Amino acid sequence: MPPSQQTASIRLDHAAVMTTDLERAIAFYTDVLGLAVHVIEDDPIRKGRQRAMLYDEGGRDVLELIEMPEMAHSAIPGRGGLHHLGFRLPQRHWHALRARLDAAGYPYQEVNHCLFIRDADGLVLELEQG
């Protein structure tokens, strides 16, 4: 692979799915797909919400289910849709990315040591250190 085509030290960490019924979504992903529940907790970012993290057979958290009961309204697009993609970068690469974003004036939000940016189509990307 040519140097310009080499991959960065970044890996997909998890996908986050919005759900109107957290219990039903957990049942589907555990009973049907075979994932296991790591934690059900108060959402650390979206106050007043619950979330669940589910893991695969390798013990990796791969799916975040985010409770969003307001999505049940039929006028809201993206019901049950993808909320964001979560990536994990080594700490030095994460700091370098933040510096590139700052230098380029690219908008982002930093919450609990996570960077949140939007891709070219507006999809939210969560970038964690680790």
Question: Within a domain: residue 2?
Answer: no
pLDDT at 3: 47
Note the pLDDT tens digit of each residue in 12-58: 889 988 888 899 889 878 886 788 999 999 998 888 999 999 998 88
User: Which residue is listed with tokens 């949140």?
Assistant: 116
Question: Within a domain: residue 1?
Answer: no
Note the pLDDT tens digit of each residue in 89-115: 889 989 988 998 899 898 999 998 899
Question: Within a domain: residue 85?
Answer: yes
Question: Within a domain: residue 4?
Answer: no
What is the spatial distance between Cα 52 and Cα 35, in angstroms, rounded to a whole number? 12
Question: Within a domain: residue 100?
Answer: yes
For residue 67, what are its two tokens?
A: 């409770």
Q: What is the total residue count of the chain?
A: 130
CATH number, domain containing residue 74: 3.10.180.10
- The pTM of the full predicted model, rounded to 2 decimals, is 0.66
What total of structural domains would you count in the chain?
A: 1
